[in-house]
Structures are given as C-alpha cells and as structure tokens.
Amino acid sequence: MTEIIDGNAVASDIRDELTDAIETLADAGSRPGLATVLMGDDPASQTYVNMKQRDCEEVGIESHHVDVDGDAPPEKLFDTIANLNENDDVHGYIVQAPVPDHVDYRDVIRRVDPIKDVDGFHPENVGRLVAGDARFRPCTPHGVQKLLESAEIDTEGKDVTIVGRSDIVGKPLANLLIQKAEDGNATVTVCHSRTDDLAAKTRSADIVVAAAGVPELIDGSMLEDGTVVIDVGVNRVDADTDKGYELVGDVEFESAKAKASAITPVPGGVGPMTRAMLLYNTVKAAGLQEGIDVDLP
Ligand code: NAD
C-alpha cells in the first residue's frame, strides 16, 4: 500500500507549533513581521504574495507589503530593500521572483540584510548552509526534509536522486541531505537538463525528488518498487477546466504511485510545506533579532 504523504496536514501541524513560538515572542513584547515585495504585476506572483500574507495572518505574524512599479529603475527596488533592512517591525522579507528583466535578481539578493533573508538566498546564508551551519534553510528544501521526517523516512545511508539543480531547490536540498546530520547522511545524485540517462539515476535511488519544472517527466517505468517519491514540480498544463488549465507535478502520479512506497501529491504535497517553512523562518528571524529563545518545530 503506497503512503500518500499529506503536505497539508504536516504544514498545519507546523503552523500550530509555530503559534506557540509566536506566543513566546508576544509574552516578551514582540510580534514577528514578514514583508513581501512585488515588482511588476505578474498575476502568478500576485497570487503567491497574497497567499503568503494570508498565511501570516492565520498564525499571528504581522504582514507588510510593498509594490514597486514594474517599469521603475532598479534603484527604486533597492531603496525599498534598504528601507526594509532598517525597519524594526519587519524581521524578514522576500522579494518575489521573477523580477523584471532589467533588474539583476542576484544584485537584489545581495542587498537583503542576511538576518532578514527568510528565503535563505543571500550568499552569506548559502555559505552557512553549505558549511553545515544554516541560519535559514530555504523553504522548499526544508519543507521536503520535514515531509520525509513526518513520514518517518530516514535519509541516513540512502541513495537520493534529485532531478533539478536550481539555486532554490536542487542545490540547497543536495547540500542539506549530504550533511552529517540526522536529517542528512544520504548519498546524493543531482541530475539536470544535461544528465545522460536520467532513468538510470532515478531507478538506482531509494528516494527521488523531482524539481525540474517539466510536467510528468518521471513516470513509474523510471522507478524501482518501493521508491519514495517527492514531487516538487508545479506546472500549469492546458486542460478542460473552468480556468483552462490544471496543475501537475514533475511526476506522472498514477504510474509512479504504483511503484512507490510513499509519494507526495500535487497539489497538496510540497507546496503547503514551502509556505509553512517561510513562516518558520520568519519566527526564527524574529527570535534572532529580538534576542528571544523560541522553540521551533
Ligand atoms: P528551475 O527552472 O530553476 O530549475 C529546473 C532544473 O531542472 C534545472 O536545473 C534544469 O537543469 C533541470 N531540468 C530541466 N529539464 C530537465 C530534464 N528533462 N531532465 C533533468 N533535469 C532537468 O526550476 P525550480 O525553480 O527549481 O522549480 C522546479 C519546479 O518546482 C517547477 O515546477 C516549480 O514550479 C516547482 N517549485 C515548486 C515549489 C513548491 O513549493 N512546490 C517551490 C519551488 C519550485
């Protein structure tokens, strides 16, 4: 019987536990604050930002938002960042990607105060993570680790194949899983668009994490019996629905489920975890900046 790992349930437990930590901060006179910055009016980004604000309200994190005109010069965004770095009510903030083409996202990330970098993308935080001393684990890889932990899937000594080498998912997850740590200690293979014989790499894995952004790239024929499958992908494909599309993962769910011992669905798997771990990082950031010890889940 294949276990369907319920990301909504795990994320809900994490939010409940964060509520306790937020009360500890409140008792000490502090309320965590998260800001979102959106440059331009990309509808998908707008939806993500709205969801993040709603998540904050639900757990008692104060949410702030700044819109920056999509045609404004980069300096306008940089000024916003400088202001947020100075704002004591904002413990963490994210600049929603993608930014318009005339703005270099790396330049944006470098300007974020690393102590407020709740995405965990600033080079200082990336370096700390690689060195095994992470301050903020990036939300999606951290969410994947929490999902594995919740399903009692030990990573120690396991072969993990990660499909995708992006800076926000594949690379940080690989770095986390190879660490000499309880939720690491795996042997990790990172595949990408130039990988020769992807199926051989997924077939040799105990755990496959799909983060390629290619709809249903991985199907059951590419998996051995008993593999754990974590599907990070979220892809819009045309469909005969009211919206004209549906969301599918990077894994062909039915054929993969027939082989897997455990699998995450899309939606309802990794997505809710990414959102919960942003709240986690915000509470952590507030504790660090206010000098208050908080118990994190
Ligand atoms: P990205 O486009 O930055 O990176 C994709 C990676 O996949 C690249 O490293 C590329 O080399 C690799 N790749 C592409 N085609 C491949 C192929 N045929 N075989 C092997 N590797 C291939 O994407 P990303 O930002 O890491 O996102 C990946 C997917 O995860 C997307 O669908 C995205 O929407 C989704 N995502 C979901 C969440 C969530 O919370 N659920 C969070 C982040 C990203």
pLDDT tens profile 100-125: 999 999 999 999 999 999 999 999 99
Q: Tell me, what's the pLDDT at 74? A: 98
What is the DSSP code string of the chain? --EE--HHHHHHHHHHHHHHHHHHHHHTT---EEEEEEES--HHHHHHHHHHHHHHHHHT-EEEEEEE-TTS-HHHHHHHHHHHHH-TT-SEEEEPSPPPTTS-HHHHHHHS-GGG-TT--SHHHHHHHHTT--SS--HHHHHHHHHHHHTT---TT-EEEEE---TTTHHHHHHHHHSSSTT---EEEEE-TT-S-HHHHHHT-SEEEE-S--TT-B-GGGS-TT-EEEE---EEEE-SSTTSEEEE-SB-HHHHHHH-SEE--SSSSHHHHHHHHHHHHHHHHHHHHHT------
Q: Tell me, what's the pLDDT at 77? A: 98
Q: How far is the CA of 128 from the centre of ligand 1 (A)?
A: 23
Q: What is the ipTM of this complex?
A: 0.99
Q: Residue 52 catalytic?
A: yes
pLDDT range class, residue 95, cuts 50, 70, 90:
very high
Is the CB–ligand 1 distance for residue 37 below 6 Å? Answer: no
| Residue located nearest, by CA, to atom 26 of ligand 1 | 166
Q: Mean per-residue pLDDT for 174-179?
A: 98
Q: Tell me, what's the pLDDT at 259? A: 98
Q: Which residues contact 47 (CB under 8 A, 6 or more apart)?
A: none
pLDDT range class, residue 36, cuts 50, 70, 90:
very high
The proportion of the chain whose per-residue pLDDT surpasses 90, expressed as a percent, equals 100
Q: Tell me, what's the pLDDT at 97? A: 96
Give the span between the Cα atoms of 77 and 70, in whole angstroms.
10
Is the CB–ligand 1 distance for residue 267 below 6 Å? Answer: no
Tell how strand 207-210 and strand 159-163 pair up: parallel
Q: How far is the CA of 162 from the centre of ligand 1 (A)?
A: 10
CB 173 within 8 A of CB 148: no
CB 222 within 8 A of CB 203: yes
| Residue located nearest, by CA, to atom 36 of ligand 1 | 233
Q: Mean per-residue pLDDT for 243-268?
A: 97
Q: Tell me, what's the pLDDT at 108? A: 98
Q: Which of 55, 119, 206, 250 is catalytic?
A: 119
Q: Tell me, what's the pLDDT at 290? A: 96
Residue whose C-alpha is closest to residue 118's, from 32, 183, 22? 32
Q: Mean per-residue pLDDT for 243-256?
A: 96
pLDDT range class, residue 253, cuts 50, 70, 90:
very high
Q: How far is the CA of 249 from the centre of ligand 1 (A)?
A: 10
Q: Tell me, what's the pLDDT at 58? A: 95
Q: How far is the CA of 168 from the centre of ligand 1 (A)?
A: 9
pLDDT range class, residue 40, cuts 50, 70, 90:
very high
Q: Residue 96 catalytic?
A: yes
Q: What is the overall mean pLDDT for the chain?
A: 97
pLDDT range class, residue 270, cuts 50, 70, 90:
very high
Q: Tell me, what's the pLDDT at 232? A: 98
Is the CB–ligand 1 distance for residue 249 below 6 Å? Answer: no
Q: Mean per-residue pLDDT for 67-89?
A: 98
| pLDDT tens profile 209-244 | 999 999 999 999 999 999 999 999 999 999 999 999
Q: Mean per-residue pLDDT for 180-195?
A: 98
Q: Tell me, what's the pLDDT at 204? A: 98
Q: Tell me, what's the pLDDT at 133? A: 97
Q: What angle do CA 217, 202, 1 make, to 5 degrees?
A: 90
Is the CB–ligand 1 distance for residue 213 below 6 Å? Answer: yes
Q: Tell me, what's the pLDDT at 205? A: 98
Is the CB–ligand 1 distance for residue 233 below 6 Å? Answer: yes
Give the span between the Cα atoms of 249 and 99, in whole angstroms.
24
- The verdict on pTM exceeding 0.90 is yes
Q: Mean per-residue pLDDT for 269-281?
A: 98
Domains and CATH numbers, the chain: 28-114 (3.40.50.10860), 139-272 (3.40.50.720)
